[in-house]
């Protein structure tokens, strides 16, 4: 197990790469979800105000 983590001596380059990748992958999922939710909320508000006017 330790040998795996050591990555033949390259651990301090390999693992940060994987960590950064996990970070970017995760952030993108969060941003995409947030973007969709914000757009849905905005659209609901727009529709509600339209109903109020009509």
Partner 1 sequence: MAWVWFHRFGSPPHFYRLAGKLVPWFGWPAALLCLGGLIGGLVLAPPDYQQGDGFRIIYVHAPAAWLSLLVYVVMASSAAVGLIWRMTVAHAVAASCAVIGASFTALALATGMLWGRPMWGTYWEWDPRLTSELLLLFLYLGYMGLRNAMDDVGRADRASAVLAIVGVVNVPIIHYSVIWWNSLHQAPSVMKFGRPTMPAAMLVPLLLMLAGFTAYFLALLLMRARGELLRRERQARWMAEALPATASASASATPTGQVKPC
Binding residues for partner 1, per CB under 8 A?
A: 4, 7-10, 13-14, 16-18, 20-21, 24-25, 27-29, 31-33, 35-40, 42-44, 46-48, 50-51, 54
Pairwise CA distance, residues 30 & 53, whole Å: 35
Query: What is the sign, positive or negative, of the torsion defined by CA atoms of 38, 39, 44, 46?
Result: positive
| Between 2 and 51, CB nearer to partner 1 | 51
- Asked if 28 and 21 count as a contact pair (C-beta separation under 8 A), the reply is no
Q: Residue 15 Cβ, how far from partner 1 at the closest point, in Å? A: 10
Q: Residue 24 Cβ, how far from partner 1 at the closest point, in Å? A: 5
């Amino acid at each position: 197990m330790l040998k795996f983590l050591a990555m033949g001596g390259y651990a301090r380059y390999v693992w940060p790469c994987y960590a950064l990748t996990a970070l970017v992958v995760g952030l993108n999922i969060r941003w995409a979800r947030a973007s969709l939710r914000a757009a849905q909320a905005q659209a609901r508000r727009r529709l509600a105000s339209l109903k109020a006017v009509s």
